[in-house]
Structure 1
């Protein structure tokens, strides 16, 4: 449903996207990558808030480089940016209602019904009449997600959506996104590998504007097979290790003396990809 071909975007001499090619369909795709990998730039291009330099994007048969088709695409997508803005003196209801008007939901009764629906989706019904400035950081993040859900979009683009959410809110977010991904395309950028493992059918790892891995979370974990170790003492030479809660040391890479193999996880595969890149 979404085709990205040879996409490039530069900021001065820095290539944020370097000939990136990717196809996306129904389901939840997680984007992983270090800061500066190009994740946010890619999402902004898909959300039509940033023009790319060259290449092609096509979503639902629409080309966002054409003004009329860009408008049609915007009607079919929802976008949660990394740093969503807000009007602090609006109530939560009024802010989402204002965004709903911008999204062409002009019938008052229908629009208010839709505002109440998305506030309920993110568990903010009880805060509907609270001023935005009085909401916690996690609540404001959920309010931004509610705005992205307006109009039941076919394409949902989420940039660092779980920032500021506590464990219970993150669990509810995962349940919501998993359900949404059954009938539409969801692409989210995150630094939380546990979110990728929990809800994404597909993971795309990026580095320096290119795709360095494209597969399942299990496939990413499998790339670390034979390179994850547990030992009672810290390794002498490795820089990729940490002390676990049980007092043992988890090492990635070459086997330290006396270490035993451990089951690899998504985080292990991702960290080793970063080192290789």
Structure 2
């Protein structure tokens, strides 16, 4: 794998709480999914990669640049796009005005060229017909698409997306997947999500974090393989296991020990993810 981002022994603490615990990670071209329970450190890692948060220890090298050095950090910011988990908006701006303002911050100084770029990214996220709409009048899904449009300005080489499909309806999520899969053909995309189906649909590689550490790094198929021989379908619910649920056909899917009358099932990414996390996954389930 050609490496475009290197993370070495990255650490971040808030008081006595360690949020990132000496994280090592390599990223290359294509789409990488980042999974993990709430509090795993995913957003903190993304903020460090996006240069909005400085780590306490360790280092990052992205696109050949070191964000710990001021000049190189500025150069890196010109080449990355970032969609934060909670993007801020100016509600009285129109959609076009807000995207144009962000484009100015990204140093797109030629007015005609900048406006062409703004129209391009709004079209990419299906907001061209909302260009004159005030941000305060947008639905949650439209605001999320506007945040994605801002991340796409200036055609970044590194794209960092934190929960980008929140608020999107099924059709919008399909369009998002098509867009991101196309973007991943020519750049590095890191996508943090709780949706394992997005990882299955989009990502060549997947990283799982828990407790501030990387606990898995591999392909989606390898993550599903963590649950090989531990996924069962039965007519009755198991006893003594919290990792089971009733499926749409009225049967039960169990992870772990074979329940009475259970038959083997093909493991999915979600199965491997839940078994990998163990007790925290049981609480989440």
Q: Could you tell me how far 1:76 is from its partner in structure 2? A: 0.3
1:108-257 equivalences in 2 (<5 Å): 108-257=111-260
Q: Could you tell me how far 1:13 is from its partner in structure 2? A: 1.1
1:90 aligned onto 2:93: yes
Distance in 2 between the 1:276 and 1:155 partners?
34
Match of 2:66 among 55, 63, 68: 63
Give the equivalent residue in structure 2 for 1:6: 9
- Secondary structure, aligned partner of 1:65: coil
Give the equivalent residue in structure 1 for 2:270: 267
Distance in 1 between the 2:140 and 2:277 partners?
30
Distance in 1 between the 2:176 and 2:156 partners?
17
Deviating above 2 A after TM superposition, structure 1's stretches of 4 or more consecutive aligned residues are none
Q: Could you tell me how far 1:152 is from its partner in structure 2? A: 0.1
Q: Deviations over 1:23-67 (max 9, x none)?
A: 111000000000010100000000000000010100122110111
Q: Could you tell me how far 1:209 is from its partner in structure 2? A: 1.1
Q: Could you tell me how far 1:276 is from its partner in structure 2? A: 6.2
Q: Deviations over 1:227-268 (max 9, x none)?
A: 000000011111100000000000000000111011100000
Give the equivalent residue in structure 1 for 2:283: none
Match of 1:36 among 33, 36, 39: 39
Match of 1:23 among 13, 16, 26: 26
Distance in 2 between the 1:265 and 1:208 partners?
23
Q: Could you tell me how far 1:220 is from its partner in structure 2? A: 0.4
Under a length normalisation based on structure 1, what TM-score does the superposition of the two structures give?
0.99
Distance in 1 between the 2:47 and 2:59 partners?
14
Q: Could you tell me how far 1:96 is from its partner in structure 2? A: 0.1
- Secondary structure, aligned partner of 1:58: strand
Structure 2 segments unaligned to the other structure (5+ residues):
281-285
Match of 2:79 among 73, 76, 85: 76
Q: How many residues align?
A: 277
- Secondary structure, aligned partner of 2:278: helix
Measured on the aligned residues, the alpha-carbon RMSD in Å equals 0.8
Q: Deviations over 1:126-145 (max 9, x none)?
A: 11110001000000000000
1:106 aligned onto 2:109: yes
- Secondary structure, aligned partner of 2:216: strand
